[in-house]
Structure 1
Amino acid sequence: MTTNTPAATAAATPAIRPTNPNFSSGPCAKRPGWTVDALKDAPLGRSHRAKIGKAKLKAAIDKTREVLGVPADYRIGIVPASDTGAVEMALWSLLGARPVTMLAWESFGSGWVTDVVKQLKLDATVLEAPYGALPDLTKVDTDTDVVFTWNGTTSGVRVPNGDWIKDDRQGLTICDATSAAFAMDLPWTKLDVVTFSWQKVLGGEGAHGVLILSPRAVERLETYKPAWPLPKIFRMTKNGKLIEGIFQGETINTPSMLCVEDYLDALDWAASVGGAKGLIARSEANFKALQAWVDRTDWVENLAADPAIRSCTSVCLKIVDPWFAGLDKEAQAGVPKAIAALLEKQGVAYDINGYRDAPAGLRIWCGATVETADVEALTAWLDWAFAQVKAELSAKAA
């Protein structure tokens, strides 16, 4: 890392502001140019079971397949309760048939460990790593069922690829891809269950999840009955057969047709910028712009030390200034919070404080709906805000 001293020289208020100050890691920024007029064709007040409702839901499934390149024999369903609901459906419906391996290196992965070990009470192998790192993927036995996040939204760490997953595996791979889908290359043949929420990379409205099942996952559903009772909202089979309607637009619970319309708009935009490849390129360009600033700045570093595992969406940063290191833990936690509050007051950046369970730091969304020029504009404001907070707190301590 080269050394400059932005914290000491950034007293002047930056001249250029981000056009869109929304850098939250979920719900995320709307697609460029979005207005409420995009929702004018939503069939509000109509049943989702009516012909028009089913057609909208089926279109959302078909466009998801097209944009993401999901194989034709994989099922795609729209399910309730966001990505969490999709993951829980998979865990409660599929696990218990084989030994289980859980991977955790951030908050949501740790939450899935709690569900599997304490709620389902399975004797799982748990491979953990601290925030900013990955477990040793070479130690993962993919002949067991494996549950993992592709991208750690709260740690800024992603798995680099799917090479560690065997093609001839006996177990299922259950992948929470909520901040990875549409921004990272997902190797479908390596993944048996993929879940995400469209409120992340595509900036859609919340409350709905997407559940994608491989033929192997469908086979498990149809041949295995869990030892525990399944709530109605989780049930995907009837009389030992997959309820195909779920994956053709007949959702389990009443969906918001307004949210579905918004997702359709986001998918159309995604197709217009080159589909998955275009979206990945946009996110990587945003990350590159932010990381270039990190590399030339002496008060901040990426939480993930290894460049190969750094997220290009939920970028997590830690403060490394010697002054910051001399503060107690409570005071350290207050610094990024103060930076975030100052930038929010300025209308420059919203919701960039790190996740509550993560080490004290900043978290900046660089997904595909963010414009690179806005990321570049933000960096000068980050230097300015850090200088302001450091000066204020130093004066109070003097």
Structure 2
Amino acid sequence: MNIQLDPAKLPSVTFSCGPGQGHPVIRQTPLYKTLFERSHRAPDVSTRGLYHETAENLRTLLSLPTGYTVLFFLGGATPAMDAVIWNLTKDSLSGLAFGAFSRRWTHNIAARLENSVRRAIREAGENEFFPCDKPDYNASLIVLTPNETSTGVQIPDDYLRETWAKRGQDTLIAWDCTSCAGGRVLPAGQFDVMLFSLQKCFGAGGGSCALVLSPKAVSRLEEAKKYHPIPFSLDLSEAVRHAASAQTANTPCTTNIWMCNEACKWMLANGGLPAMEHLCREHADYLLAWAAQTDYIAPLIKDARLRSFTTLTLEITDPDVKDADISAALISTGLANLADGLKKYSSVKQNSLRISCFPFVDVHGVEEYKKLTAAVDEIVRQLKKR
């Protein structure tokens, strides 16, 4: 693609929605300092060291209720979703499906459960981005995705509070917070399970995640085994047992946990989660203001209540401008940070761009976003001249 851009004016960060931008200090740390060569059983790494410290920092950052268990699980969010579905579903499951990752809960994983499990899945209708129907509040497990990475839709706080308030006596509520943990202040203590990859707001590598379980969720672990067998690698009871002494059942990626911990320490030292939400909102607000001034782009999600400010999706309204051409032009610069372009998620049909607004994309404000939007404006100008 013959688009000419001035390299000196281009951003120096990635706007990919995962793996996301890491903090500059973390990115400049020599790999050997991340303890990746150490045994995960060594006390200074686990019980009295990195694992314990990271769990406590997450507990503080996310304002977790007393008695909730924090553990690190192998793989990203998908294996953790698998584990939650198998370990905590009894005879019924409910949830919302409004994008690729929420559907992963409700369709890809839940479909593997026995046919006897009752399913009440609420789906977004045609040309809608969020379901009109509420979940079955009396299901044994309700699965929710507060921020949907693929479409840039978020579940409003009042919806999350209502679900918690109306839940049945034997109902557990699970959140996949992969795209908002570390960037959004969620209603405190309104969940039994929280899971998230470390690769989004925390800027760590892929393939690692954290799980948070309430005492009620922990007590469900043995009970659920009466309903169906739990695959060995997904058995959370073993992970919880090890977490009691800041250990893991299997060998985790210590480098990712180290990166998460450094991110937590920086976040806590710089205003905590409210400050991180402010950064994300500042990034998103700048992009929305820029979009409003153009004649070719607008927010895909029109309802501000449902619009995520951690991953923002912008729809290209000019039929002569294609999202693939914009991404191709950015990729053609040869800069590693722009190698992913601004690609929409594969399941999204609209002609659109997907841009991360995570805290570490620009910890000082919006200067990197100004460089990005200037580059996109220039790309579009050159495309229209053809």
TM-score w.r.t. length of structure 1: 0.86
User: What amino acid sits opposite 2:129 in the alignment?
Assistant: A
Question: Using a 3 Å threshold, how does the CA distance of structure 1 residues 217 and 267 change in structure 2: closer, same or farther?
Answer: same
Instruction: Name which of 340, 364, 379 aligns with 2:355.
Output: 364
Question: Using a 3 Å threshold, how does the CA distance of structure 1 residues 15 and 200 change in structure 2: closer, same or farther?
Answer: closer
Q: Distance in 1 between matches of 2:181 and 2:271?
A: 15
Q: Distance in 1 between matches of 2:108 and 2:241?
A: 27
Q: Distance in 2 between matches of 1:125 and 1:13?
A: 51
How much has 1:247 moved relative to structure 2? Answer: 4.8
How much has 1:179 moved relative to structure 2? Answer: 0.3
Q: Distance in 1 between matches of 2:107 and 2:78?
A: 13
Give SS of 1:255's match.
coil
Instruction: Name which of 84, 99, 120 aligns with 2:78.
Output: 84
Question: Using a 3 Å threshold, how does the CA distance of structure 1 residues 193 and 222 change in structure 2: closer, same or farther?
Answer: same
- Deviation by residue 1:239-267 (Cα, 9 ceiling, x = unmatched): xxx84323542212211222222222111
Tell me how many residue pairs correspond in the alignment.
367
User: What amino acid sits opposite 1:74 in the alignment?
Assistant: Y
Contact 2:203 2:259 in 1 (8 A): no
Contact 1:233 1:252 in 2 (8 A): no
Matches within 5 A, 1:308-319: 308-319=305-316
Give SS of 1:165's match.
helix
Instruction: Name which of 154, 160, 164 aligns with 2:156.
Output: 160
Give SS of 1:127's match.
strand
Contact 2:121 2:135 in 1 (8 A): no
- Deviation by residue 1:261-290 (Cα, 9 ceiling, x = unmatched): 222211111112211111111111100111
Question: Using a 3 Å threshold, how does the CA distance of structure 1 residues 117 and 222 change in structure 2: closer, same or farther?
Answer: closer
Q: Distance in 2 between matches of 1:131 and 1:92?
A: 32
The aligned residue for residue 127 of structure 1 is: 122
Question: Using a 3 Å threshold, how does the CA distance of structure 1 residues 313 and 94 change in structure 2: closer, same or farther?
Answer: same
2:57 maps to 1:66: no
Question: Using a 3 Å threshold, how does the CA distance of structure 1 residues 16 and 163 change in structure 2: closer, same or farther?
Answer: farther
How much has 1:101 moved relative to structure 2? Answer: 1.2
The aligned residue for residue 221 of structure 2 is: 221
Give SS of 2:161's match.
coil
TM-score w.r.t. length of structure 2: 0.88
2:136 maps to 1:149: no
Q: CA RMSD in A?
A: 2.3
Q: Distance in 1 between matches of 2:105 and 2:203?
A: 24
The aligned residue for residue 380 of structure 1 is: 374
Contact 1:290 1:375 in 2 (8 A): yes
How much has 1:40 moved relative to structure 2? Answer: 4.9
Matches within 5 A, 1:342-361: 342-346=329-333, 347=335, 349-351=338-340, 352-359=342-349, 360-361=351-352
Matches within 5 A, 1:199-238: 199-237=199-237
How much has 1:74 moved relative to structure 2? Answer: 0.9
Q: Distance in 2 between matches of 1:245 and 1:234?
A: 14
Give SS of 2:268's match.
helix
User: What amino acid sits opposite 1:304 in the alignment?
Assistant: I
User: What amino acid sits opposite 2:323 in the alignment?
Assistant: P
Matches within 5 A, 1:102-113: 102-113=95-106
Aligned structure 1 segments of 4 or more residues deviating by more than 6 angstroms? none
2:54 maps to 1:41: no
Gaps of 5+ in 2: none
Q: Distance in 2 between matches of 1:117 and 1:56?
A: 34
The aligned residue for residue 32 of structure 1 is: 24
Matches within 5 A, 1:275-290: 275-290=272-287
Identity of paired residues, percent? Answer: 28
User: What amino acid sits opposite 1:265 in the alignment?
Assistant: E
How much has 1:140 moved relative to structure 2? Answer: 2.4
Contact 1:93 1:226 in 2 (8 A): no
Q: Distance in 1 between matches of 2:127 and 2:22?
A: 28
Q: Distance in 1 between matches of 2:344 and 2:213?
A: 32
Contact 1:349 1:378 in 2 (8 A): no
How much has 1:12 moved relative to structure 2? Answer: 9.1
How much has 1:160 moved relative to structure 2? Answer: 1.2
Question: Using a 3 Å threshold, how does the CA distance of structure 1 residues 261 and 189 change in structure 2: closer, same or farther?
Answer: closer
- Deviation by residue 1:57-80 (Cα, 9 ceiling, x = unmatched): 111111111111111211111000
How much has 1:345 moved relative to structure 2? Answer: 2.0
Q: Distance in 1 between matches of 2:344 and 2:137?
A: 32
Give SS of 1:29's match.
coil
User: What amino acid sits opposite 2:197 in the alignment?
Assistant: S
User: What amino acid sits opposite 2:179 in the alignment?
Assistant: S
Q: Distance in 2 between matches of 1:34 and 1:232?
A: 34
- Deviation by residue 1:77-134 (Cα, 9 ceiling, x = unmatched): 1000111122111011111x24221211110111222234421143311111168621
Q: Distance in 1 between matches of 2:368 and 2:347?
A: 27
Question: Using a 3 Å threshold, how does the CA distance of structure 1 residues 183 and 226 change in structure 2: closer, same or farther?
Answer: farther
2:328 maps to 1:341: yes
User: What amino acid sits opposite 1:126 in the alignment?
Assistant: I
Question: Using a 3 Å threshold, how does the CA distance of structure 1 residues 111 and 299 change in structure 2: closer, same or farther?
Answer: same
Question: Using a 3 Å threshold, how does the CA distance of structure 1 residues 251 and 132 change in structure 2: closer, same or farther?
Answer: farther
Gaps of 5+ in 1: 1-10, 325-334, 393-398
Contact 2:91 2:227 in 1 (8 A): no
